[in-house]
Amino acid sequence: MSNTSAQSKVEIRLGTSGYSFADWVGPFYPPGTSRGGMLAFYSSRFSTVEVNSTYYRIMHPNVSWNMVNKTPEGFEFIVKLHSSMTHSRDATKDQWNDFNEMLKPFNEADKLSGLLAQFPYSFKPSDKGLRYIEELNEETNDIPLAVEFRYDEWYRQEILERISAKGIGLVTVDLPKLPHLPPPQAIGGKPFGYIRLHGRNYKQWWNGGPLRYDYTYSDKELRA
C-alpha cells in the first residue's frame, strides 16, 4: 500500500483447501469432533475455505445450505469447478444446471467469493484453450472466476494479460521445482489475487497421489 492520505485497504483472507479431514482431529479439531461439527469449528478460526470436493462430485443444494448455516456472517467460500469443466472439458448442460443450483445457497447468503478452475498439467496453452477459458468465464456469469495452470508456458505475460483483461483472476502457485511446473512467482490480476501453496514435495509429485501434498513449510519459506 502507498503511504498517502488516500490509502487503499487490502483484505487478506487465509484458509485451506477443504476442512473435513479425520486426521485433523487432535492436531486442529478438538478430540471427539465429528465430521458434522468440523465446519462450525473451522469457521471460528478461519474466514474462508476452498470447497475442493466439488471437483469430484456436484453437491445437492441442501448440502450447500447446511454448510452456509454452519458458518458465521462474513465467512466466504471459494468453490472448485467440477472435473468435467476443467479436466475432461465435456460438461453437459445438466451438469452445469446442477452446479448452478448447488451454488444458489452460497450466493443467496452472500457467502460465495468466487470459483476456482484448476487445469491439469496436460492442458497446454493454445488459442483453443484460451477461447475455452473465456467461454468458461461467460458460463459462470457474474461470479468471479480464478484460473490455475500446472504447465509453465501458460504464465507468459501476453497470455496472463489477455486472461486478466477478461476480469478473470490469476492464481499464483507454489510447487516443487520440476520441469515445466510453474515457477513460484507472484502474479496479479482482477478481481483478486489468489495464492495456493501446494508444497514442494518433489519426490512424490508425479506418482505419489495424495502424498504429493505431504509437505510442511518452514518459517523461512513462508516468510519468502
What's the chain's average pLDDT? 92
Q: Decide: 121 and 152 in contact? Cβ < 8 Å.
A: no
36 vs 19: CA distance, rounded Å: 11
In eight-state DSSP terms, residue 48 is E
138-181 pLDDT, tens digit each: 999 889 999 999 999 999 999 999 999 999 999 999 999 999 99
83-97 pLDDT, tens digit each: 999 999 999 999 999
Band of residue 6 on the pLDDT scale cut at 50, 70, 90: very low
Average pLDDT estimate for 187-206: 87
Residue type, 176: P
- The label of the residue with cell 477459458 reads 133
Average pLDDT estimate for 124-135: 97
Is pLDDT above 60 for 66? Answer: yes
Q: Which residues contact 188 (CB under 8 A, 6 or more apart)?
A: 164, 170
Q: Quick one: pLDDT at residue 216? A: 94
Average pLDDT estimate for 186-196: 83
| CATH class in words for 22-223 | alpha beta
Q: Quick one: pLDDT at residue 142? A: 87
Average pLDDT estimate for 11-33: 96
Q: Decide: 113 and 144 in contact? Cβ < 8 Å.
A: yes
User: How far apart, in Å, do the first and last CA atoms of the chain sit?
Assistant: 18
Average pLDDT estimate for 74-88: 98
**Partners of 118 in beta bridges:** 148
Is pLDDT above 70 for 8? Answer: no
